[in-house]
Amino acid sequence: MSNQSRIRLERVTKRWDATTAVDDISFDVTPGQFVILLGPSGCGKSTTLRMIAGLEEASDGRIHIGERDVTRLPPGDRGLSMVFQSYALFPHLSVADNIVFGLRSRKVPKDEQRQRLAKVAELVDLTDYLDRKPAQLSGGQRQRVALARSIISEHPICLMDEPLSNLDARLRSDMRREIKALQSRLNMTVIYVTHDQVEAMSMGDRVLLMQHGKIVQDGTPDELYNRPASAFAASFIGSPAMNLLPLVAGKDGAVIEGEPSTPVAPLDAAGGHLGIRPEDIELRIAPGSGVPANVLSEEYLGADTIAYVAVGSHTLRVRLSGKQALTGQPCSLYWTSENTHLFDAEGLRRDDLTTFPLPSSSRSVPRPPAVGSFQH
Amino acid sequence: MQLYGALLLLPAAVLLTTFAYLPTVTTVINSLFLPGFRGAPTEFVGLENYQVLFDDPTFWKVARNNLIYAVGTIPTSIALALGMALFVNGKLRGRGFVRMAYFTPTILPMIAAANIWMFFYAPQIGLFNKLLGMLGFSGVNWLGDPNLALSSVIVMSVWKEAGFFMIFYLAALQSMPPELKEAADLEGTSRWSFFWRVTFPLLMPTTLFVLINALINSVRVVDHLFILTKGGPNNATNLLLYYVYENAFSFFDRTTAATITVVILLVLAVVATLKFTILDRRTHYQ
């Protein structure tokens, strides 16, 4: 793949009067990459995407696509397509006319339009629906029309702004796979905005996690899950979210607030947070050398159960496999040091310290397999 | 249960019957009779009144005037309304003020507006002639010249109506999702092309509505003729409804008035039906 679809942002900022939506961000997307802009609402991810598309003008900084500086170029000259959250289909035009809308704008000959339409309709499985109006289609089919419209333009770059958030859960997981498959088949460069961490984890080659207009972590889904750069990243990825426990100074090291009996980390870690994923905690009913706890309640999800466990003055989520009935029982918790994360008082990851291991010899409650456990 | 439904319909039905259906029916009946003079009973004459009306050259002149008036006002005011709506829907400084300015003629009562335009059109002291005088042209008798009077009335009607229709277009434009424009922009669609391929087709329901309204308005003109020209000179600006009014209340010829009214109703009904059936098929409703 040529360098045509390389996207480079240099210190891009977007300000509206007093508010700064995007604050001095820079990143570089290599051709063929599937990049996710992930973050809570209002973090500036959509604004970033719209600046790349040219629908918003950057207040500061440069945007390059390929070798060209496109910062001040109109959207139509940037050589990219976009899928909108609302699909943005033209309600008075048939599916076919919607798909070829851009080709007509670009004065592509009629014959070629027909050929490309037939090919793309086949690709997204819409051949039987070409004469319908958008109102006569289901949500998933409308989504496909929107996809077809961006594919038919044959631009190497496709921007997607929360394209699946109007679909129901089951359809969403189908479309996730479909979009991912299309992307690798057509070798498109995709920048995909979402607030859904499941979409980010399952589709992205690379995830840019944003907060308050800044990129807080830039890495593969694997890195985001296993080595979150901050407490925010840790809590944003994974479902249920990572447990974050405030640490205070104890007798033999840092302890969980309200639970002074078991030191969990070196004294230096006090004042920060200990992070453990619900799936990385082992729960044993018998009292032992682990952190003493009490099961408050549980939530049965089918494949597994989330137990809510009181430790000191905090509540932890623990993922257990299968159906478990443990409410009201005292128990102890165990984990290994490679599965724990330490964050300093500012919420940044610190790798200079390791937690104390809390090993267990035998398992009384089976744990689910660690792989893929964050998927719904 | 059916009784409740009927009761709920009753107030509207009573009002409509008293003020719309009954008068319509009596008008139709009146148009088929000749009034009896000096206490003599009215005489059924069938369609003879229509025969007399169609032989009346004044009626044809008035009808022709009204056609010219409709052709002169409807497309112009709709195009102007759409243009103004597109203009004030865009990013614009002092947008609220411009919108208000465009809408002001609509808020003015017709009589007041006509009086204002009297001063524009007045031969000696009128604004237009003053301006022409400043440029060195001799003045024109805007409302007194039979060749100009109808055009003068048309200009004023367009001024009065365009702002009203603009409101409908503006509402329709604001309900159009902005992503449509963005999606088109990403494909490099020109403004012109976007307007004809997306905006205009999506505004068709509004256009149809405005068109029907404009048509009805064009045969409803009484008040500004009353102020401006009284239908003169020599019936040059006389329009159908004003002619009905003249017949009924100046000449006290109720029969002719009823006959013309029926003709107007029929023509309007036919045109509206045609519009709805032909344009509806080409109109996309959301």
**pLDDT tens per residue across span B15-37:** 999 998 999 898 888 888 887 77
CA atoms within 13 A on the CB side of A108: 21
For A159, name the nearest residue in chain B, comparing CA atoms only.
B186
What residues contact A355, with CB distance under 8 A and at least 6 apart? A264, A265, A269, A274, A335, A337, A340, A342
pLDDT of B83 > 50? The answer is: yes
Which chain A positions have a beta carbon within 8 Å of B190's beta carbon?
105
| More confident position, B142 or A373 | B142
Domain spanning B47-281, CATH class: mainly alpha
Fold of A243-343: OB fold (Dihydrolipoamide Acetyltransferase, E2P) (2.40.50)
Give the residue ranges of DSSP H helices in B219-253. Answer: 223-228, 240-245
Mean pLDDT computed over every residue of chain A: 87
Q: Are B89 and B82 in contact (CB under 8 A)?
A: no
Q: Which two tokens stand for residue B197?
A: 């391929």
Which chain A positions have a beta carbon within 8 Å of B187's beta carbon?
76, 81, 101-102, 105-106, 153
- The answer to whether the Cβ–Cβ distance between B193 and A92 falls below 8 Å is no
pLDDT of A368 > 70? The answer is: no
pLDDT of B197 > 80? The answer is: yes
Return the amino acid letter for A41: S
Which region among A190-194, A214-218, B40-44 has the lowest average model confidence (pLDDT)?
B40-44
For A76, name the nearest residue in chain B, comparing CA atoms only.
B188
A279 Cα to chain B: minimum distance (Å)? 41
- The answer to whether the Cβ–Cβ distance between A82 and B186 falls below 8 Å is yes
pLDDT of A374 > 70? The answer is: no
Which region among A19-28, B86-95, B103-112, B275-284 has the lowest average model confidence (pLDDT)?
B275-284
3-state secondary structure of A10: strand
pLDDT of A4 > 80? The answer is: no
B92 Cα to chain A: minimum distance (Å)? 17
pLDDT of B58 > 80? The answer is: yes
- The answer to whether the Cβ–Cβ distance between B177 and A92 falls below 8 Å is no
d(CA A212, CA A199): 21
Q: In what order do the strands lie in the sheet with A34-38?
A: A80-83, A157-161, A189-194, A34-38, A206-211, A214-219
Of the candidates B188, B198, B284, the beta carbon closest to that of A106 is on: B188
Q: Structural domain boundaries of chain A?
A: 3-232, 243-343
Helix (H) or strand (E) segment spanning residue A308: strand A304-311
Fold of A3-232: Rossmann fold (3.40.50)
Which chain A positions have a beta carbon within 8 Å of B285's beta carbon?
none
Mean pLDDT computed over every residue of chain B: 85
**Average pLDDT in the A68-85 region?**
90
In sequence order, what are the beta bridge partners of B174? none
Q: Which two tokens stand for residue A23?
A: 């604050």
Q: What is the pLDDT of residue A319?
A: 92
pLDDT of A369 > 60? The answer is: no
- pLDDT tens digits for A112-162? 999 999 999 988 888 899 999 999 998 889 989 999 999 898 888 999 999
ipTM of the complex: 0.80
pLDDT of A373 > 50? The answer is: no
pLDDT of B225 > 60? The answer is: yes
pLDDT of A366 > 60? The answer is: no
Q: What is the pLDDT of residue A1?
A: 46
Q: What is the CA radius of gyration of chain A?
A: 24
- pLDDT tens digits for A294-329? 899 988 888 889 999 998 889 999 998 888 888 888
Q: Which two tokens stand for residue A257?
A: 């607030």
What are the residues of chain B with a beta carbon less than 8 Å away from any beta carbon of chain A?
A: 177, 179-180, 182-190, 193, 197-198, 201-202, 204, 284, 286
pLDDT of A37 > 90? The answer is: yes
- pLDDT tens digits for A136-149? 998 889 989 999 99
Q: Structural domain boundaries of chain B?
A: 47-281
pLDDT of A34 > 90? The answer is: yes
Residue in A12, A161, A142 with CA at minimum distance from that of residue A80: A161
Q: What is the pLDDT of residue A376?
A: 42
B49 Cα to chain A: minimum distance (Å)? 49
Q: Of how many residues is chain B composed? A: 286
Q: What are the Cα distances from residue A290, in Å, to A109, A296, B112?
A: 72, 18, 90
Pairing of strands A189-194, A157-161: parallel
Q: What is the pLDDT of residue A372?
A: 44
Q: What is the pLDDT of residue A110?
A: 92
**Average pLDDT in the B204-216 region?**
87
A139 Cα to chain B: minimum distance (Å)? 16
Task: Provide, rounded to the nearest whole percent, the portion of chain A with pLDDT above 90.
Answer: 38
Burial of B144 (0-12, 13-18, 19+ CB in 10 A): middle
- The answer to whether the Cβ–Cβ distance between A101 and B187 falls below 8 Å is yes
Q: What is the pLDDT of residue A159?
A: 93
